[in-house]
Structure 1
């Protein structure tokens, strides 16, 4: 079994995870569907699926394969392994209850934002921000808040690797515009997402940092444009989030 590029990536491992990602994306598929999509022999796919079944990572019902609940165990262990993450979860719940909107805690991994915790208040808009979802870091309030906490060198790396793709007409796609916004976030302490990820949705984000200035992640609150405007959007929510982040950072420092 050899590598398939300079980094020594193992092809069979890569295929197994391509298969798992496909099952996740399609919410289940048959052997033929998987083989056709991955352009591999059915016998090859069957060996992968049989191995994953034996290891209890894939289930099969009426010829349809799906990801198994063992992934839930792995995901929850990943999400709860940090005491700081647990403290962040409490603040996400507090923000959702106080604002009655949607709140979330996002971290950066491999140059993208990842939803770690999310809570919805009584008036929250339902969106596809499920736990574990990976998002372009430049197109969300929390993501931009994290960017502003990173070094300029790391920001450059992320831009070079991930680019600045567009999700809406308002998404930042210019390096210069992003750098200008990073400077503004660093000065005022919070970020704004004005329909850059989802049309009709605005958000406020604040970074959460360790005592040495390294970013843990970011908190944000999002809601519809007709509610997120005026004093609420310009003063109330930024002040609430800044205070919440400060409390969280102190709790992390002295926990």
Structure 2
């Protein structure tokens, strides 16, 4: 029998109820009547009314007299948390969720010179001969995350990278020509993702998407790595990408929105 944990003597029930009222609003319940809020929170109508009108007075909720909606001032409640989070802290829980959904290894990296540097990683199995941890570096040109990051560079910076980087064939599949890599990066930029098939290491396939800063530049990259088994060797690459792209793009969008929220000014109280 599971023991029910009772609130301690420092527990403020009215605060808990007020937060429950705020949490009752979501994407499927943007506008609610008093009865709706009462039903979703389990509060009586009289109690729900008091909390709603208190929130209206504070500016967190607006009403036309019948229907209630949250206002943008609610964003302040999460601003302090977001403003203190670094990119790895924002990414890590999403990588965990993504890995659980896809049962594959997931990672995030940034560009440092000619290399990618891992800033977060969740691994389901050992898929490379070299262990990957936070801080691991790989040449950007031969990785899916690297190509996403390179494709996001301004043209002058990309040309400088291509001019000073020796493109070594790490496997028989590695794109090791400047013109070929430039064409591949143009494709990545157009389609919004990179797919690399056994170019960094034989047996490793990965798909990556960008994370954007509020100004639209590429801040980092997320990827899903998959081990190519014998039975998968003939599988169409587009099919492999399509199986993970929706979830990967959704995770990227969530981090992009969090970065935007970190930069947005606080809504001034009324």
Same fold (TM over 0.5): yes
Q: 2:123 aligns with which of 114, 120, 125?
A: 120
How far off its partner does 1:221 sit?
Answer: 0.5
Q: 1:254 aligns with which of 250, 261, 270?
A: 261
Map residues 64-75 of structure 1 onto 2, 5 A cutoff.
none
Q: 1:141 aligns with which of 144, 150, 154?
A: 144
Map residues 200-219 of structure 1 onto 2, 5 A cutoff.
200-219=203-222
Alpha-carbon separation, structure 1, partners of 2:106 and 2:145: 10
Alpha-carbon separation, structure 1, partners of 2:118 and 2:185: 21
How far off its partner does 1:125 sit?
Answer: 2.7
- Structure 1 contact 168–197 (Cα < 8 Å) conserved: yes
What residue is the counterpart of 2:103 in the other structure? 100
Residue 236 (1) aligns with residue 243 (2): yes
Alpha-carbon separation, structure 2, partners of 1:104 and 1:246: 15
- Structure 1 contact 208–216 (Cα < 8 Å) conserved: yes
Question: What SS does structure 1 have at the residue aligned with 2:111?
Answer: strand
- Structure 1 contact 191–206 (Cα < 8 Å) conserved: yes
- CA RMSD across the alignment: 2.0
- Structure 1 contact 100–120 (Cα < 8 Å) conserved: no
Structure 1 residues 161-170 or 141-150, which shifts more?
161-170
Alpha-carbon separation, structure 1, partners of 2:89 and 2:261: 14
How far off its partner does 1:126 sit?
Answer: 5.1
- Structure 2 contact 195–241 (Cα < 8 Å) conserved: no
Taking a change above 3 Å as real, the CA distance of residues 196 and 126 of structure 1, as seen in their structure-2 partners, is: closer
Normalising by structure 1, report the TM-score.
0.63
Alpha-carbon separation, structure 2, partners of 1:252 and 1:154: 24
What residue is the counterpart of 1:158 in the other structure? 161
How far off its partner does 1:134 sit?
Answer: 1.4
Question: What SS does structure 2 have at the residue aligned with 1:164?
Answer: coil
Alpha-carbon separation, structure 2, partners of 1:241 and 1:207: 10
Alpha-carbon separation, structure 1, partners of 2:147 and 2:118: 14
Map residues 164-243 of structure 1 onto 2, 5 A cutoff.
164-226=167-229, 227=232, 229-230=235-236, 233-243=240-250
Question: What SS does structure 2 have at the residue aligned with 1:250?
Answer: helix
Deviations 1:116-162 (A, max 9, x none): 111013x5635422221211000000110111111121112222222
**Unaligned 5+ runs, structure 1:** 1-80
- Structure 2 contact 207–241 (Cα < 8 Å) conserved: no
**Unaligned 5+ runs, structure 2:** 1-83, 263-270
Deviations 1:177-210 (A, max 9, x none): 1111111111111001100001011000011110
Alpha-carbon separation, structure 2, partners of 1:125 and 1:111: 23
Question: What SS does structure 1 have at the residue aligned with 2:100?
Answer: helix
Alpha-carbon separation, structure 2, partners of 1:116 and 1:218: 10
Alpha-carbon separation, structure 2, partners of 1:185 and 1:242: 14
Alpha-carbon separation, structure 1, partners of 2:241 and 2:133: 27
- Structure 2 contact 128–204 (Cα < 8 Å) conserved: no
